[in-house]
Amino acid sequence: MRYILALLLLISANAYAQCKTYAIGAKGDTLNCIDKKDMKQGKWVIHHDEVRGEPGFEEEGLYKDGRKEDVWRQYSLMGDLIGVEFYKWGNKDGVCKYYTSSGELLREESWKALNPNKQYDTFDIEDVDHLDHYKTVIVKNEGVAIRNGAWKYYDPSTGTVYKTENYTIGQLEIPKATAKINSPDSTKSKIVPKEVLDYQKKNAGKKKIKVRDGTVGN
């Protein structure tokens, strides 16, 4: 028992020695370590105050060489889990989920992290004209995460999806049906209500009546 305690103290002392500043958690663990190179390391707990009506929250997760890494969890100030995020190279990566304070799923966001150490990064995306075929796209790296994949919005009262957005390398995909409706040629097939057709037929050839609007002029 003494040996185990001594070993734990040695490990703890070594962790402290690597940190220029740190905090001690409720369980005696080292938190919020900033190393001698001024980089955040290890487990962090960050408090966010309420800002412009947005509720405050706390988040906890790991830092590696000053960047967020792996799983980060968000909690309301009452201690309820309200978000689970995944990070790579300090950027969101994968499917992140957000919840109400009572645990109902609100939305799912799909992100792709870019390697900040590269000037350009590559993506393999499905060829829309040839299913099950993929092509490689080169993207200029801005050092941030980009939206890539399905974003789903849930009705917390029923748990059903009421809206889905699909992104490919940061670009929102427009469904073909919607694109056809919004295209310039779509007016050619526009359906005109019968009441409008009857009105146009009835008033065809009539002179337009000039209406005075009360303004002063000739």
**Per-residue model confidence (pLDDT) at position 53:** 87
Q: Which pLDDT tens digits describe the chain residue by residue (218 residues)?
A: 444 433 333 344 455 568 999 999 888 899 999 999 999 999 999 999 998 888 999 999 999 999 999 999 999 999 999 999 999 999 999 999 999 999 999 999 999 998 888 888 777 776 666 667 777 877 777 778 999 999 999 999 999 999 999 998 888 988 766 555 555 554 444 444 555 556 566 666 554 444 344 444 44
**Per-residue model confidence (pLDDT) at position 128:** 63
DSSP string, the chain: -HHHHHHHHHHHHHHHHHEEEEEE-TTS-EEEEEETTS-EEEEEEEEE--BTTBPPEEEEEEEETTEEEEEEEEEETTS-EEEEEEEETTEE-EEEEEE-TTS-EEEEEEEEE--TT-SEEEEEEE-TTSTT-EEEEEEE--SSEEE-EEEEEEETTTTEEEEEEEEETTEEPPPHHHHHHHSGGGGGGPPPPHHHHHHHHHTTTPPPPP---S----
**Per-residue model confidence (pLDDT) at position 63:** 98
The pTM assigned to this predicted structure is: 0.70
Domain boundaries, the chain: 1-38, 39-202
